[in-house]
Homo-oligomer: A and B are copies of this chain.
Amino acid sequence: MGKKIAAFGEVMMRLQVPGYDLLSQAGTLVYSFSGTGVNVMSALARYGHDGYLVTRLPDNPLGDAAAANLRKLGVAQKFVVRGGSSIGMYFLENGFGARPSRVTYAHRLESSFNTAPDNVYDFAAIAGQLDAAHFCGITLAMNDSVRSQLLRFAEAVKARGGIVAFDCNYRPSLWGENGYGKAKPYYEKMLGLADIVMMNEKDAMHVLGMPAKAATREGQLEELIPEAASRYGIAAAAGTHRSVNGDNTHSLRGYLYKNGAFHYSDLLTFSVYDRIGAGDAYASGILHGELSGFAPERTVRYAAAAAMLAHTTTGDTPMASEREIERAMTQAAGDVER
């Protein structure tokens, strides 16, 4: 039976140059609407849960377009408020081989979400209708008002016995100079509230300032995650290690730390079509496993397969069904299905 879960976060308009042209060469853009919260809620809705978004959209044709596309993705809009006149945007130029993809953010500060009045969401009422809520470190990086809203919502969920999930998702460019120092107190508050945390050893070392003895990232992970889980009372921690290979493929291994034990997926190596949002697919898989009571081994393999498939579809938002993920957990790539 599906659970009721909400995400708090901004809706971004993704404006992508088609094919491999640069923005200075092309004349058209493909647009869609995403964001960590959108991506995770859409995936969970696809897996059978009720996924709500708590956000603010502009009251104009841009907001109408965002709302229509979120509906298409299966995201419930009962808790979406309308107001303001702007939406965060990013422009994406696809890389090819030796040329990396480029993301250019535009106009995040003016967005309806980031300029929402403090009392615009009724967090207590919302929390009362939920089994769980999902938060992301990107939202923490926005401004004081948004940070305060996020924390109040997380506290309200916690107070009503809901599960709090938090994805560290630290983005250096958003926090600016001395970012780790600025971010640490907010991250610590959220880790203290969170039951399920998406993180890896880099978050522990850089944001939380935990020293590591091990030299490899694998060693650092096994050294630091149990310590962080213990320090902040985290029931389940999960994340991935990714390598970008020379031949247009990536390799990825997921981990889930729970009840004192690490569980790993296989190392998956796969061709990459659209890399953005794959981390949200992994998080969605972990949340689905945890909300549905999967065994940890199954959860981590499900999440890794979901992340792998998210690299093969268009857009930030995961599109694979539960059936497709399960098939990918067991089969090699095959011939056309007909």
Contact status B332-A97, CB under 8 Å: no
Known contacts A20-B312, A71-B71; 7 additional CB pairs below 8 A are A20-B274, A21-B313, A23-B65, A97-B270, A98-B309, A101-B336, A103-B337
Of A88-96, A152-160, A208-216, the one with at least 4 CB within 8 A of chain B: A88-96
Contact status B23-A313, CB under 8 Å: no
Count of residues in A whose CB is under 8 Å from the partner chain: 83
Residue among A100, A273, A320 with the most chain B CB within 10 A?
A100
On whether A338 and B173 interact (CB within 8 A), knowing A71-B71, A309-B99, A311-B97, the answer reads yes
Q: What is the bound-complex CA distance between A90 and B338, given in angstroms?
A: 10
Residue among A74, A98, A107 with the most chain B CB within 10 A?
A98
CB contacts under 8 Å to B, within A46-76, are 60-62, 64-65, 67-69, 71-74
Contact status A95-B27, CB under 8 Å: no
- Whether A230 sits at the interface, judged by CB under 8 Å, is no
- Whether A220 sits at the interface, judged by CB under 8 Å, is no
- Whether A110 sits at the interface, judged by CB under 8 Å, is yes
Residue of B nearest to A13 (CB): B106
Contact status B68-A72, CB under 8 Å: yes
- Whether A248 sits at the interface, judged by CB under 8 Å, is yes
Instruction: Report, nearest first, the 9 A-B pairs whose CB atoms are least far apart.
Output: A97-B271, A103-B338, A107-B107, A72-B72, A99-B312, A24-B65, A101-B336, A23-B65, A24-B68
- Whether A87 sits at the interface, judged by CB under 8 Å, is yes
- Whether A275 sits at the interface, judged by CB under 8 Å, is yes
Contact status B105-A91, CB under 8 Å: no
**How many protomers of this protein does the assembly include?**
6
- Whether A109 sits at the interface, judged by CB under 8 Å, is yes
- Whether A125 sits at the interface, judged by CB under 8 Å, is no
On whether A87 and B106 interact (CB within 8 A), knowing A25-B319, A29-B31, A71-B74, the answer reads yes
- Whether A284 sits at the interface, judged by CB under 8 Å, is no
Across the interface, which residues of B come within 8 angstroms of A30, CB to CB?
27-28
Contact status A314-B93, CB under 8 Å: no
On whether A21 and B333 interact (CB within 8 A), knowing A31-B28, A61-B91, the answer reads no
Across the interface, which residues of B come within 8 angstroms of A276, CB to CB?
336
- Whether A293 sits at the interface, judged by CB under 8 Å, is no
Per-residue contact bits, chain A 267-284, to B (CB 8 Å; 1 contact, 0 not): 001111111100000000
Contact status B61-A93, CB under 8 Å: yes
